Amino acid sequence: MKNKNILLSVLVIAAIAAVAMALVPPPPVEQNLGTYDTRVDKYTESLCRNCHDTTTLGGVPTRHHSLVANSKINPTNGLPFGCQDCHPATPGEGQGILIERNCVDCHNGSAFWGNSLGAQINITRPHHINTSYDSAGIGQPAQTRQCNVCHGTFVANYNDSHYIPSYNTSFMITPYADFKAYNETSGKYWGGCYACHQNSSAESPSVLTQHDTHHGAISGWGREGGIGHQKDATPGRACTWCHLLLNPHNATVNITINGVEETVLELRNSTLMATDTNFEPGTTMPINGTGCEKCHSVQSIHNIQYSYETTKGQAGFGHIGNNSDCNGCHASWIAGSVPLQGAIIPTVDSVTPSVVLAGSANAITIAGVNFVNDAYTSVVSVDGVTYTPASITDTQIVVNIPALNAGVHTLQLVKGTEKSKLATLTVVSQVDVVKAKLASGTITITGTEFGPQPTADFADLGVFVTHTSKVKGQTTTTTFKATVISWTNTQIVVDAGTAAVNDKLTVKTLNGQDYTNIVKK
């Protein structure tokens, strides 16, 4: 009987190799879903802007300016944020202040280079140790492995009772963390993550394997150059988050990566009950043969596909395009329905407008893919409150959002049990100038939401008077910046200078600008 089992295994592997020659999905994996497969130390500004664009997802300058307007504390010096914390004065250079728009220069895990000019910024790398999550009211989800707070249901939350197979590792069914079969003729891997999640230096930035992306995001290190073991690591992380063995170095596999054979840790093991307190304290959850299923559930895997309506039947755009995708994960397939397949996870590409005014309802347009499929349709969740779209297609949603308070609000699409990755909607309080009264050489300006007084280095912010005069029948119009005597959120007093009744007065602040005509007190 034993000899028959060995023969059957050989025949299965031979069959897999034959299939691999005929079905060739294209690695690296499709990069338009979820998060780009690289490490944060390889990010470029353009890649950051895929999510944190100034006109689509988030209104980046406005979100940063709100730190000042809302008196948030700068962790570098323990004081409320001020304009010059990020924009120190640079007399005689450029605009007279430092304006740095490269995300990576600030969010680099070390002191901002502009600190040498007077800035006071020292920010951790995003996103697993980003303290800003606390100010947004969502805590530290990466540390508690609540992955879908940010990733949506592309990744399941750890130990949230999602389905995990209880049977022993099956060669015909269970995907391996690396691969089951390698075809030397085609150079293809089959039966595990490495079928598609391979590195590619042809991309910019380079696409990395699942080993490097997970080690980079969780442990802060990787094979390709690295950023130093333990640096920027997710607080509280442990090897046993992924690896089933207490000493994972005892389980390795050799993989050829870009023509070079390397040894990587094998996550696969037979079924075990996690009752050992040295493994996962207080846990009795049965874990099937791959530790990946702790977070990458069967349901999430079987509902990932880019632009499902246009790519179903095509290989390489997700996990369920055609039989080639099935072979990529399982190295085999059986005709029938895909287990736990339902709503395809929606993807948000843009939110327009991304910055709206507080106190008023707004129509928001969301662009992306997979908004509807079969009997499933998406609704919009803002801070956990859902809104039904006014109109919806597979690639666009228009939704009416009621008035929101000033601040940064979370936005996700919900379709059945699936959620898109996290997006944001920034709401600001608009400055409102009510009156500007001239008396005794000063102008008293009343209104709301003036915010903190801009420092003198910011030449384009403050109070501006457009004065019109006539000399010998010649009309002359000039605009000057008035000298501020006092400034609060509701009242500004400035030196009148040459201002006169009926001149136009404009207040320009971080919260926008408004104007009125000067009147006599």
Place 372 in a pLDDT band, splitting at 50, 70 and 90. very high
Q: Are 436 and 504 in contact (CB under 8 A)?
A: no
pLDDT above 80 (res 16): no
Place 368 in a pLDDT band, splitting at 50, 70 and 90. very high
pLDDT above 70 (res 510): yes
Res 101: pLDDT: 81
Residue 175 preceded by cis peptide, ω within 30: no
Model's pTM, two decimal places? 0.75
Place 11 in a pLDDT band, splitting at 50, 70 and 90. very low
Task: Please give the share of the chain, as a percent, with pLDDT higher than 70.
Answer: 74
Res 284: pLDDT: 43
pLDDT digits (tens, 9 = 90+) for 311-328: 888 888 888 888 888 888
Q: Which residues of 47-83 are buried (b: 16+ CB within 10 A; e: fewer)?
A: bbbbbbeeebbbbbebbebbbbbbeeebebeeeebbb
At 131, list the tokens: 């303290």
Per-residue pLDDT, averaged over 143-165, amounts to 85
Q: Which of 153-157, 277-281, 403-407, 411-415 has the lowest mean pLDDT?
A: 277-281
Measured CA to CA, the distance from residue 379 to residue 391 in angstroms comes to: 10
Res 15: pLDDT: 44
pLDDT above 70 (res 24): no
Give every CB contact of residue 34 below 8 A, 6+ residues apart in sequence: 151, 152, 154, 155, 304, 347, 421
Residue 127 preceded by cis peptide, ω within 30: yes
Q: What are the C-alpha distances in Å from 203 to residues 36, 200, 265?
A: 11, 6, 25
**Residue 359, beta-bridge partner list:** none
Q: Are 405 and 413 in contact (CB under 8 A)?
A: no
pLDDT above 80 (res 183): yes
- Phi and psi based region of residue 289 (left: phi greater than 0; alpha: psi -120 to 50; beta: remaining): alpha
Give the mean pLDDT of the chain: 77
pLDDT above 90 (res 297): no
pLDDT digits (tens, 9 = 90+) for 110-152: 778 888 888 888 776 667 765 555 545 566 788 788 888 888 9
Task: Please give the share of the chain, as a percent, with pLDDT higher than 90.
Answer: 23
pLDDT digits (tens, 9 = 90+) for 187-232: 888 888 888 888 887 877 788 888 778 877 776 654 443 333 334 5
At 323, list the tokens: 């039989």
pLDDT above 50 (res 26): yes
Res 136: pLDDT: 52
pLDDT above 60 (res 55): no
pLDDT digits (tens, 9 = 90+) for 72-99: 888 888 898 888 888 888 876 666 788 8
pLDDT digits (tens, 9 = 90+) for 350-360: 898 888 888 88
Higher-confidence position of 274 and 408:
408
Res 10: pLDDT: 39
pLDDT above 70 (res 513): yes
Res 106: pLDDT: 81
For the domain made up of 347-428, give the CATH fold. Answer: Immunoglobulin-like (2.60.40)
Q: Which of 268-282, 319-333, 455-469 has the lowest mean pLDDT?
A: 268-282
Identity of residue 16: I
Give the three-class secondary structure for 64.
Answer: helix
Phi and psi, residue 377, nearest 5°: -140, 155
Res 400: pLDDT: 97
Res 361: pLDDT: 94
Res 503: pLDDT: 95
Res 393: pLDDT: 96
Q: Where are the domains of the chain?
A: 2-24+164-296+320-330, 347-428, 432-520
Res 148: pLDDT: 85
Res 9: pLDDT: 40
Residues in the chain: 521
**Are 347-428 and 432-520 equal in CATH topology?**
yes
Higher-confidence position of 365 and 211:
365
Place 184 in a pLDDT band, splitting at 50, 70 and 90. confident
pLDDT digits (tens, 9 = 90+) for 439-452: 999 999 999 989 88
For the domain made up of 432-520, give the CATH fold. Answer: Immunoglobulin-like (2.60.40)
Higher-confidence position of 375 and 516:
516
Q: Are 254 and 230 in contact (CB under 8 A)?
A: no
Higher-confidence position of 31 and 339:
31
pLDDT above 80 (res 493): yes
Res 483: pLDDT: 95
Q: Are 465 and 482 in contact (CB under 8 A)?
A: yes
Round to the nearest angstrom and report the end-to-end CA distance of the chain. Answer: 104
